[in-house]
Amino acid sequence: MHHLACFISAHGFGHAARACAVLQALRQFQPSIQLTIYTQAPAWFFEQTLGPTFVYVPCDTDVGVVQSTPLDENLPATLNRLQAFYPFSSTHLQTLANDLRGRHADAVLCDISPLGIATAHTAGLPALLVENFTWDWIYAGYVTRAPGLQTFLEPLRQIFASSDLHIQTEPICEIWPSAHVHTTPAARRARLSRAEVRSRLRVPERAPMVLLSMGGIPEHFTFLKALKQLPHLHFVVPGGSQTPCFEDNLTLIPHRSQFYHPDLVAACDLLVGKSGYSTIAEACQSNVPFAFISRSNFREAPILTAFIQQHLPSLEIREADYPSLTWLTKLEELLGQPRPTQQLPNGAASIAKALLQF
């Protein structure tokens, strides 16, 4: 394989992070591979892992679930976008297929873009699917609240079923008997040492570092002042400020900053945040205790919760308790729990090998 095209869902940063992990591993095995990335996830996010050596094509590859906040979904807006996005027009597919041919792509990696699969087949190229859930499975959990979603379930399932290589990564929400490969979670690798990261964040040497991470969907943190009531803990908050801010026991940084998220996870003593795929994958690479907020309305939530509780010291924070901060009093107990002595293998290498062997 000389040139891989990638269609990546821009639903949060989780799919982009997993794709980056896979492409990072792929380059280890085949450094000369050319990459073209089709997505609306920002180019800088991919540059953090892959450097500038890829082609970025802005493209709406997916709808996903429209979210008002990291914890709240907007089903009417989701339905409106789905109705505008599907079915794919033959003209649009042919335009994208011609673009793939013009770039001499050999295959199309999809996480978890149905448009990528359809475009690959239009171009006569293999479609390589990586997922821990598919959108038809997610939407089926919302049908009672948004009956209009029913229309999209079977067409989407047929698209996902048509992939030429189907790779599932833990935590797997629905086992597909037709899937070719199952792997452990795929995570981007940390690059800097724990000591170097903490020094740059201005975290005191002996202070437990608590990373508060809500993923790629912007969050308005209204309780930062309350964190100062725990001065023996040092809180690092990506997305907590537009510019780096160092104040008492708080380090607030923008979503886009000089700090690489896997480095932050590897350097922290405790992770607090939304139970998203990439956050779980990175936590498992460092066996970090995880106080996680589980989204009760999201169908994936119980499966992610069970996986976290099986593999990491953890505390589940109910959505209702998150803004009330009652969980703050339980952080000390979680910090005191022993970390696992063994970590899960990084599934990114297994996925990369499967892609190359296909």
Q: How far apart are CA 7 and CA 59, in angstroms?
A: 9
pLDDT value at residue 241: 87
Question: What percent of the chain is helix, strand and coil (3-state, nearest 5)?
Answer: 40, 20, 40
**Which CATH number applies to 194-335?**
3.40.50.2000
Q: What is the mean pLDDT of the chain?
A: 94
- What tens digit of pLDDT does each residue of 275-305 get? 999 999 999 999 999 999 987 778 999 999 9
Which carries the bigger pLDDT value, residue 73 or residue 27? 27
| Residue pair 265/280 in contact by the 8 Å Cβ criterion | no
pLDDT tops 80 at residue 71:
no
pLDDT tops 90 at residue 320:
no
Percent of the chain surpassing pLDDT 90 = 84
Q: How far apart are CA 184 and CA 347, in angstroms?
A: 5
pLDDT tops 80 at residue 317:
yes
pLDDT tops 90 at residue 149:
yes
pLDDT value at residue 217: 61
- What tens digit of pLDDT does each residue of 9-39 get? 998 899 999 999 999 999 999 999 999 999 9
pLDDT value at residue 297: 78
Helix 14-29 with 277-286: angle, nearest 10 deg: 50
pLDDT tops 80 at residue 53:
yes
CATH number for 3-187+347-357: choose from 3.10.180.10, 2.40.170.20, 3.90.1150.10, 3.40.50.2000: 3.40.50.2000
Range of lowest pLDDT (63-72, 187-196, 234-243)? 63-72
Phi then psi for residue 94, to 5 deg, are -65, -35
pLDDT value at residue 353: 97
Phi then psi for residue 218, to 5 deg, are -55, 140
At residue 202, the 3 state secondary structure works out as coil
pLDDT band at 240 (very low <50, low <70, confident <90, very high): confident
Average pLDDT over residues 248-268: 94
At residue 271, the 3 state secondary structure works out as strand
Run of H or E residues at 139 = helix 135-140
Name every residue whose Cβ is closer than 8 Å to that of residue 8 and which is 6 or more positions away in sequence.
15, 16, 19, 37, 38, 39, 41, 61, 111, 113
| Residue pair 85/60 in contact by the 8 Å Cβ criterion | yes
Question: Scanning the structure block, which residue is given the tokens 């873009």?
Answer: 113
Mode of pairing for the β-strands spanning 234-238 and 245-247: unpaired
pLDDT tops 70 at residue 306:
yes
pLDDT band at 247 (very low <50, low <70, confident <90, very high): very high
Measure CA of the first residue to CA of the last residue in the chain; give whole Å. 9
Percent of the chain surpassing pLDDT 70 = 98
Nearest CA to 345 out of 267, 285, 283 is that of 285
Phi then psi for residue 109, to 5 deg, are -90, 130
- What tens digit of pLDDT does each residue of 88-103 get? 999 999 999 999 999 9
Range of lowest pLDDT (54-63, 106-115, 306-315, 333-342)? 333-342
Q: How far apart are CA 288 and CA 7, in angstroms?
A: 31
Structure tokens at 288: 């970090």
pLDDT band at 312 (very low <50, low <70, confident <90, very high): very high
DSSP structure string for 206-262 = TSPEEEEE-TTS------HHHHTT-TTSEEEEETS-SS-EEETTEEEE-SSSSS-HH
Nearest CA to 286 out of 180, 173, 197, 154 is that of 197
- What tens digit of pLDDT does each residue of 186-229 get? 999 999 999 999 999 999 989 999 999 887 665 667 788 889 99
pLDDT value at residue 323: 83
- In the chain, residues under CATH classification 3.40.50.2000 are 3-187+347-357, 194-335
Nearest CA to 218 out of 16, 40, 70 is that of 70
